[in-house]
Amino acid sequence: MATSTAALKARLDGLCDRYDTAKALEKDPLSILFAYEAPADREVAGFVAAHLAYGGVDPMIRAVRSALTPLGARPADWLRDQPESKVRAELTRVLASWAWRFHTGRDLVEWLLAWKRLDVESGAGLEAHLLPGLGEEPDEALSRLVQRLRAELPPSYGTRFSLPDPREGAACKRWRMFLRWMVRSGWPDLGLWSRYPTDRLIIPLDTHVARVSRFIGLSRRGTPDGKMAREITDSLCRLDPLDPLRYDFALSHLGILGDCPGMRKRSTCAACPLYSVCRAGAKTAAPPMR
């Protein structure tokens, strides 16, 4: 039997109540941005944190913090106030031994220099480079920027890992997460950008969101790709047309914190707000909501 929209919304609202907490935020790279005061500094920190957000949470957060340490308390000013040659030389020196899984210190230097160049062009960070044009789909602007950076940055494994193209079917989880942080104003996001339309945001699809979304009927797709991200976003829009991505944090942390065993059992799952609408372990995905 299909789950009603009202029933699913009530269950997901309960999930938000459970995970929309400062304690859950500690296990999220977004927490790093709150160490900075100025919007531009938070944007730089977010540009780094979002694109390094893969792998184990605790070591990932440590890697992001150590990557940002050389930029000091005002990373945007630090990047803006020095010529590119000096930024490259200094960061190459201090980040020579830094690494996070697929990314090296050299990758990080190029990533920060890319922000510096884009900021110079716009005069105000990255929003203008990702802003959909009149009549455009939001992915067109993202795709243009990705293709530009593919051409400009050295073709290392780390830089290519950070540059999936939505026009090629990629879910673009890390770009979507950066956009959510910058655009959405509800907790825990920062709402730093005023021109990017919130109704164009697409859910940052990770393995946790994909798995739970299939369990509760937000998607019937088996592959966690761009089409699944859009399908889940469309389903969430029916629950909350004005703010569908408010459910993303709770959905992802249900998995990040290890609270979803992936098999529906009363002994382990009864306390979960999604228990009554979850079909984990069923041979087929949960039927779509009405």
Q: What is the pLDDT of residues 180-213, one digit of tens each?
A: 999 999 999 999 999 998 989 999 999 999 999 9
CA distances in angstroms from 272 to 18, 19, 109, 162, 216, listed in the order given: 9, 11, 43, 34, 12
Q: What amino acid is encoded at 15 in this protein? A: L
Cite the beta strand spans of the chain per DSSP E. Answer: 99-100, 103-104
Under the banding of pLDDT at 50, 70 and 90, the label for residue 287 is low
Helix (H, G, I), strand (E, B) or coil at 7: helix
The answer to whether residue 282 scores a pLDDT higher than 70 is no
Tell me what the mean pLDDT of segment 79-106 comes to: 97
Of 108, 115, 107, 105, nearest to 77 by C-alpha is: 115
Task: Please report, for residues 25, 65, 258, 275, the alpha-carbon distance to residue 265 in angstroms, rounded to integers and kept in the order given.
Answer: 27, 38, 15, 9
Query: Residue 142 above 50 pLDDT?
Result: yes
pLDDT digits (tens, 9 = 90+) for 212-265: 999 999 999 999 999 999 999 999 999 999 999 999 999 999 999 989 988 888
**pLDDT tier, 15 (very low <50, low <70, confident <90, very high otherwise):** very high
Burial 181-191 (b: 16+ CB within 10 A, else e): bbbbeeebbbe
Cβ neighbours of residue 137 closer than 8 Å, sequence gap 6 or more:
none
Confidence class for position 135, pLDDT limits 50, 70, 90: confident
